[in-house]
Structures are given as structure tokens and as C-alpha cells.
Amino acid sequence: MLNPKKIEEVAKQLSDNLPSGLKQFAGEFEERSKQVLQQQLMKLDVVSREEFDIQQQVLIRTREKLEALTARVEALEATLADKAE
């Protein structure tokens, strides 16, 4: 779900942008940044793109079935209304 390579890239960018006086801590900072980023991203309520696309297709099929059933109910109601008259 989470792309570890992206997290590493962000952590590397953070450590690369440290002031020169803190460069000696860059490796430790980068590792800790990766840990914090992973922990915070895991707290988010997200789904993978694949899961999203699957659920989107399920929703489309459900809407199509609902529309078909609605049309069918309306047709049946019209038939019953005609017979009642």
C-alpha cells in the first residue's frame, strides 16, 4: 500500500536539506524521518489505488442495478395503476 521508496526519497530530501552544522546527524535523521513518516502514514485511513478502482467498479455496477430495478418497479406500478382503473 505505502511505497517504501517514496518514503525513503522524502526522508533523504529532509536530511539533504539539514543545515551544514547538522550534517553529521544526517544518517540518523534520515532513518528517524523514515520511521516517523511511515508511522504517520499508517495512521491515515487510505486505500490502495487498486482497491479504490475495484470499489469504484462495484459502485458503478450497483448503481446500474439500482437504476434497472427502479425502472422495473415503476413499470410494475404503472401496470398496476392501469389495471386498477
* Residue (of 45, 37, 47) closest to 7 by Cα position: 37
Packed helices 26-43 and 4-16: angle between N→C axes, nearest 10 degrees: 140
Every domain of the chain and the residues it spans: 1-46, 47-85
Counting Cα atoms < 13 Å in the Cβ hemisphere of 75 gives 6
Q: What is the pLDDT of residues 18-62, one digit of tens each?
A: 777 776 777 787 788 888 888 887 888 778 889 999 999 999 999
What pLDDT sits at residue 2?
63
Rounded to 5°, angle at Cα 68 from 62 and 69: 90
Give this prediction's pTM.
0.50
